[in-house]
Structure 1
Amino acid sequence: MGSTTKRLCDALLNADNIDSYFDNNADRIDIGVDLSEFLEEKLKESGLTRAELFARSSINPSYGYQLLSGLRSPARDTAVQLAFGLALDVDDTQKLLRMAKLGALYPRDRRDSIILFAISNGFTLPQTNELLFSYSMSGLSK
């Protein structure tokens, strides 16, 4: 368990009640915003249209609309593709993955570390796929 997670767990176990835990840790835990709301918020912040997001993410538009409306849940790579399409930073990408109940990008995993490097350096999805392929890793989009 990471040190931040351990601190949160300790705070939870030592809290007088669950509401005080939520109030004191609102900036560190995801409460009250679902994945589709988060994606819509980030889409609005980006200034992109939905069509532009799907093109930048290499996601079929009909599937993309289902993701944004909450009718479907993304696979992990699809969530990362959306992060690239929205040009999210590492923190927001990890938040997106948590909200989708998917595993966070893990720096000890070779493929994940390449993706984290690409995100932190502002790579696009095609640039990231090229980098993954150069290390004989599978790309993010089919």
Structure 2
Amino acid sequence: MLMPALALGAGFAGYIARLTRTTVLDVLSQDYIRTARAKGLKESTILLKHALLNSVTPIVSVMGPLTAGLVTGSFVIEFIFSIPGMGNYFITAVTNRDYPLIMGVTLVYAVLIVLANIAVDLLYVKLDPRVKLSGERA
């Protein structure tokens, strides 16, 4: 299971690492980081509590589309590594023109992607106090 996991996750892990680095470097140039250093806070406290916490929102925002990439990438990984799963059944259904199975698997994956995007939106509201749900008052 190590090879399929690495094949599926390595590209996404690199993208998240690059995005994390970029956003942390952007946050480290902000005024409140300079103020925290001027107060004499430890560098580890500045990085963890101020920089990383404030740079996590763009990373969480990207998780929804990355989930779609993982789901669609699992089709190929399951087929290449001969792993029995929904992606393998989907590919078999396409080659056999089994339209009800194609529609069913597509619907299941669409629901998974929608649920992942809803979870990302709710997590974004939790992480950033400036963002409110449409029913909440300011």
Structure with the largest fraction of helix: 2
Q: Judge same fold: TM > 0.5, yes or no.
A: no
TM-score tier (shorter): under 0.3
**Larger RCO: Structure 1 or Structure 2 (Cα < 8 Å, ≥ 6 residues apart)?**
2
Structure of higher CA gyration radius: 2
